[in-house]
């Protein structure tokens, strides 16, 4: 049983997590090639068993370390709802396991720092951008910003001064700063141009090569093919083969 819908903002940044590097991770020697299909994976990193609510499901799914699941489907079909259920942000029933440990054994905040949900329209609860990053996370953001074609000085400004695309990229950095083993990404490039999308996809390939598991909602079947080891489609609040 879910802990219920919480009113606190999602914990994709703003709080300190021990072990966050203040340097960008190195480029992996063998990044995930574009368009590569099925790979040989180890035991599940994320296992979802009979996850459901009155609005969607049931969902049964296993994702391995370094695996990317791409989810497409029409607007309103339940894609974002599915990610929010996995993150335990919306009411749900069923079981979700992280590396074999069931979700209910984690405090809610600890779960959401390990299974990080990044919304299509991320929330901002402070006026200044930098106030959403503390300690090592702000140093991480300063070094990561140029990799997404962002000026580090934007961190010293106000959220309202950021463009939609700048907010989306800053929110992704905020999520990445937690260095979680699972990322739930809701249209991470939906507001971005082609050049910025390429930069984001490159960064996500590095995370996959570092064994991070990603479940990603996208409206681009081309992007699903470039990043997804598996591609499922949401239809009538159920996941089906694409």
3-state DSSP call for residue 177? coil
- Residues 99, 211: Cα–Cα separation, whole Å: 12
pLDDT at 21: 34
pLDDT at 30: 34
Looking from the CA of 105 toward its CB, the CA atoms found within 13 Å total 7
* pLDDT one digit per residue (tens) for the chain, 242 residues: 444 433 333 334 333 333 333 334 433 333 334 444 444 456 899 999 999 999 999 999 999 999 999 999 999 999 999 999 999 999 999 999 999 999 999 999 999 999 999 999 989 999 999 999 988 999 999 999 999 999 999 999 999 999 999 999 999 999 999 999 999 999 999 999 999 999 999 999 999 999 999 999 999 999 999 999 999 999 999 999 99
CATH of the domain at 66: 3.40.50.300
Count of domains for the chain: 1
Q: Counting Cβ atoms within 10 Å, is residue 24 exposed (0-12), middle (13-18) or buried (19+)?
A: middle
17 in any annotated domain: no
Strands (DSSP E) found in 73-156: 93-98, 101-102, 115-118
14 in any annotated domain: no
Which residue has 């990445």 as its token pair? 176
225 in any annotated domain: yes
Contact at 8 Å (CB) between 217 and 79?
yes
User: Does pTM top 0.75 for this prediction?
Assistant: yes
For residue 177, give Cα distances in angstroms to 13, 15, 34. 7, 10, 24
pLDDT at 41: 55
- Residues 158, 175: Cα–Cα separation, whole Å: 19
158 in any annotated domain: yes
Q: In terms of Cα–Cα distance, which of 135, 120, 127 is closest to 168?
A: 120
Radius of gyration of the chain (CA): 17
53 in any annotated domain: yes
Contact at 8 Å (CB) between 53 and 90?
yes
Beta strands at 115-118 and 182-186: parallel, antiparallel or unpaired: parallel
91 in any annotated domain: yes
31 in any annotated domain: no
DSSP 158: B
- Residues 178, 87: Cα–Cα separation, whole Å: 15
Residues 6+ apart with CB under 8 A from 93: 1, 2, 50, 51, 52, 53
- Residues 198, 176: Cα–Cα separation, whole Å: 17
Which residue has 């703003």 as its token pair? 14
The H-or-E segment that residue 217 falls in is: strand 213-217
- Residues 95, 86: Cα–Cα separation, whole Å: 9
pLDDT at 43: 82
3-state DSSP call for residue 11? coil
129 in any annotated domain: yes
Structure tokens at 221: 């079947």
pLDDT at 134: 87
pLDDT at 211: 97
**DSSP alpha helices (H): ranges in 93-152?**
108-114, 136-144
Residues spanned by the domain of 148: 46-241
């Amino acid at each position: 049983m879910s802990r219920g819908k919480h009113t606190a903002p999602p914990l994709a940044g703003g709080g300190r997590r021990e072990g966050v590097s203040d340097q960008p991770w190195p480029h992996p020697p063998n990044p995930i090639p574009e368009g590569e299909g099925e790979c040989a994976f180890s035991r599940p990193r994320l296992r979802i068993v009979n996850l459901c609510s009155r609005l969607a499901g049931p969902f049964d799914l296993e994702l391995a370390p370094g695996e990317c699941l791409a989810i497409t489907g029409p607007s309103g079909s339940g894609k974002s709802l599915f990610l929010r259920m996995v993150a335990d942000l919306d009411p749900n029933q069923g079981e979700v396991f992280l590396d074999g440990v069931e979700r209910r054994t984690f405090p809610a905040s600890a779960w959401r720092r390990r299974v990080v949900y990044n919304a299509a329209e991320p929330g901002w609860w402070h006026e200044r951008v930098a106030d959403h990053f503390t300690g090592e996370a702000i140093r991480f953001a300063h070094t990561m910003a140029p990799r997404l074609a962002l000026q580090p000085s934007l961190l010293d400004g106000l959220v309202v001064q950021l463009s939609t695309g700048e907010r989306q990229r800053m929110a992704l950095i905020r999520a990445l700063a937690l260095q979680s083993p699972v990322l739930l990404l809701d249209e991470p490039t939906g507001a971005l141009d082609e050049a910025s999308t390429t930069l984001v996809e490159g960064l996500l390939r590095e995370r996959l090569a570092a064994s991070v598991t990603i479940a990603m909602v996208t409206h681009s079947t081309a992007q699903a093919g470039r990043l997804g080891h598996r591609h499922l489609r949401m239809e009538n609040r159920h996941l089906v083969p694409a």
